[in-house]
Amino acid sequence: MKDIKIKVNDLSLYYGEKKALNEITMEIPANKVTALIGPSGCGKSTFLRCINRMNDLIPNVSIKGEMLVEGIDIYNKNVDVVNIRKKIGMVFQKSNPFPKSIYENIAYGPRINGIKDKTQLDEIVETSLRQAAIWDELKDRLDDSALGLSGGQQQRLCIGRTLAVSPDIILMDEPASALDPISTSKIEELIHQLKEQYTIIIVTHNMQQAARTSDQTAFFYMGNLIEMGKTNSIFTNPVQKQTEDYITGRFG
Ligand SMILES: Nc1ncnc2c1ncn2[C@@H]1O[C@H](COP(=O)(O)OP(=O)(O)OP(=O)(O)O)[C@@H](O)[C@H]1O
Ligand SMILES: [Mg+2]
């Protein structure tokens, strides 16, 4: 039996009166890449934000159903949101490094978590940047501002920053959509390496990217989960007509 990291049961989300997610039920396996695809506005980012309770920050949001992470419903009143966000890192479409040095971008999270020892922080910075496949490019300029990096480097730095606080799960919302093809393939390669240690959920509009990077794919349409399965079967042999129409480019 595959190891299930996240189990979602009948999860619905409303922005005010508007229902943006309709009774989503799915299982997300550990140490795999799950891709979320579907046309603009179908609820992919909304769903992703449910996994680390980022929607809590938006006014008038109400959520029903369960989001079980390692068997614990993260919407349970007794759950500590700060702890959840520590375990679940997020990378956004637009890279968002802090206006600080490369070193400080990585050391920031661990410092907040109480690590003060310089040797230990140095080690975390190196390990995180290595894992983010950017150590060799940056090791001689750790004190330079992160804002001087290229877009692709900034995005890998942000992935490194996420890894520095040792999450279990990494959420990525279109992490490569603002990048050139070479930076994109670096990110895709990185995703492939990271899944040995992390459970990854990636939103993408790029069908080839979903096909290349993910083990399983979920197709959303108008707030509904239409179909989910092994990436290979979703792309070669979808069960639902809507899925087929979308992946063959007939709409979306
Ligand atoms: N903060 C918000 N307040 C109200 N409605 C919202 C909010 N965020 C998203 N929505 C609505 O919820 C629906 C789903 O939006 P969401 O951003 O999750 O879609 P998406 O699949 O990520 O789209 P895209 O591919 O364009 O990023 C849309 O109809 C959107 O307008
Ligand atoms: Mg989105």
Domains annotated on the chain, with CATH: 4-247 (3.40.50.300)
CA–CA dist 129, 137 (Å, integer): 9
pLDDT for 82 equals 87
Q: Dihedral sign, CA of 191, 149, 106, 36?
A: negative
pLDDT tens string, the chain, 252 residues long: the values are 469 999 999 999 999 999 999 999 999 999 999 999 999 999 999 999 999 999 988 999 999 999 999 999 999 989 999 888 889 999 999 999 999 999 999 999 999 999 999 999 999 999 999 999 899 999 999 999 999 999 999 999 999 999 999 999 999 999 999 888 998 998 999 999 999 999 999 999 999 999 999 999 999 999 999 999 999 999 999 999 999 999 998 876
Quick check: CB of 46 below 6 Å from ligand 1?
yes
Measuring from atom 25 of ligand 1, which residue has the nearest CA? 40
Whole-structure pTM value: 0.94
pLDDT for 225 equals 98
∠ CA 41-43-49 to the nearest 5 degrees? 130
Q: Dihedral sign, CA of 39, 208, 11, 51?
A: negative
Question: Is residue 132 a contact partner of residue 89, using CB atoms and an 8 Å limit?
Answer: no
pLDDT for 252 equals 60
Distance between Cα 43 and ligand 1 center (Å)? 6
Q: Dihedral sign, CA of 150, 155, 157, 158?
A: positive
Query: Which ligand 1 atom lies nearest to the CA of residue 16?
Result: 4
Ligand with the closest atom to the CA of 41: 1
Quick check: CB of 44 below 6 Å from ligand 1?
yes
CA–CA dist 252, 246 (Å, integer): 6
Report phi then psi at 149, rounded to 5. -80, 160
CA–CA dist 138, 145 (Å, integer): 11
- Which H helix or E strand runs over 226? strand 224-230
Quick check: CB of 55 below 6 Å from ligand 1?
no
Distance between Cα 137 and ligand 2 center (Å)? 30
Measuring from atom 28 of ligand 1, which residue has the nearest CA? 41
User: 131, 134, 133, 130: which is closest to 146 by C-alpha?
Assistant: 134
Quick check: CB of 15 below 6 Å from ligand 1?
yes
Distance between Cα 15 and ligand 1 center (Å)? 9
CB atoms under 10 Å from CB of 28, counted, come to: 21
The 10s digit of each residue's pLDDT in 64-78 is 999 999 999 999 989
Out of 13, 22, 42, 46, give the residue to mutate to test ligand 1, the one with the largest number of ligand atoms within 8 Å of its CB: 46
CA–CA dist 121, 79 (Å, integer): 29
CA–CA dist 152, 77 (Å, integer): 39
pLDDT for 1 equals 46
Out of 12, 36, 42, give the residue to mutate to test ligand 1, the one with the largest number of ligand atoms within 8 Å of its CB: 42
Quick check: CB of 42 below 6 Å from ligand 1?
yes
CA–CA dist 13, 31 (Å, integer): 27
Contacts of 155 (CB under 8 A, 6+ apart): 91, 95, 175, 176, 178, 179, 183, 187
